[in-house]
């Protein structure tokens, strides 16, 4: 089994690869947060593993920064785990008394956490689509709310815009 820890950031991701015995297959390396960087990670994974190896990829839940790489990993059929940052922070503190927290250390911690398999469940394709749907629903709700505000802010005085002959015979 191969465990990959990814510390997600806005512009770059730090990655670390371990095997099931705890041996380091690839020390911490950085990839850009774009398709080219994702392919670099995939090529590195292929060079470190054999076809019979199962690959676990873990990353922290960082909102919209992790959406692109998460979708890429799921599209390529990799078992992906989205971890709670609080849980990884507590796990990191349990491993060492030092108060070091860097992107490199976080990538190592995530990989070690996957290796320990502390009751983690893989992120499914369905969960990814549910998150996308939830995001779209929130966006639509905000736009409907914005439209309602605009409608109430416009004061329409019909007598200003319409000639008096228009109002003949109408009941108000």
Burial class (CB in 10 A: 0-12, 13-18, 19+), 56: buried
Q: pLDDT tens digit string along 77-118?
A: 888 888 888 877 777 777 766 666 676 788 888 888 888 876
**155 phi and psi angles, rounded to 5 deg:** -100, 120
Per-residue pLDDT at 140 = 95
**pLDDT above 60 (res 11):** yes
Q: pLDDT tens digit string along 47-76?
A: 887 777 788 899 988 878 888 888 899 888
Q: What gap in Å lies between CA 87 and CA 90, rounded to an integer?
A: 5
1 within 8 A of 53, measured Cβ to Cβ: yes
User: Which position has the token pair 């689509």?
Assistant: 129
């Amino acid at each position: 089994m191969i465990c990959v820890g990814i510390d997600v950031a806005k512009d770059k991701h730090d990655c670390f690869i371990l095997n099931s015995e705890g041996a380091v297959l690839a020390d911490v390396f950085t990839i850009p947060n774009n398709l080219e960087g994702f392919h670099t990670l995939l090529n590195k994974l292929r060079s470190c593993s054999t076809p019979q190896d199962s690959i676990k990829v873990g990353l922290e839940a960082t909102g919209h920064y992790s959406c692109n790489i998460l979708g890429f990993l799921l599209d390529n059929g990799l078992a992906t785990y989205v971890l709670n940052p609080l849980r990884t922070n507590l796990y990191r503190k349990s491993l060492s008394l030092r108060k070091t927290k860097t992107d490199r250390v976080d990538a190592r911690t995530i990989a070690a956490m996957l290796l320990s398999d502390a009751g983690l469940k893989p992120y499914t394709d369905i969960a990814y689509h549910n998150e996308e749907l939830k995001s779209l629903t929130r966006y639509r709700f905000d736009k409907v709310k914005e439209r309602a505000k605009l409608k109430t802010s416009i004061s329409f005085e019909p007598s200003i815009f319409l000639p008096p002959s228009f109002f003949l015979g109408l009941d108000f």
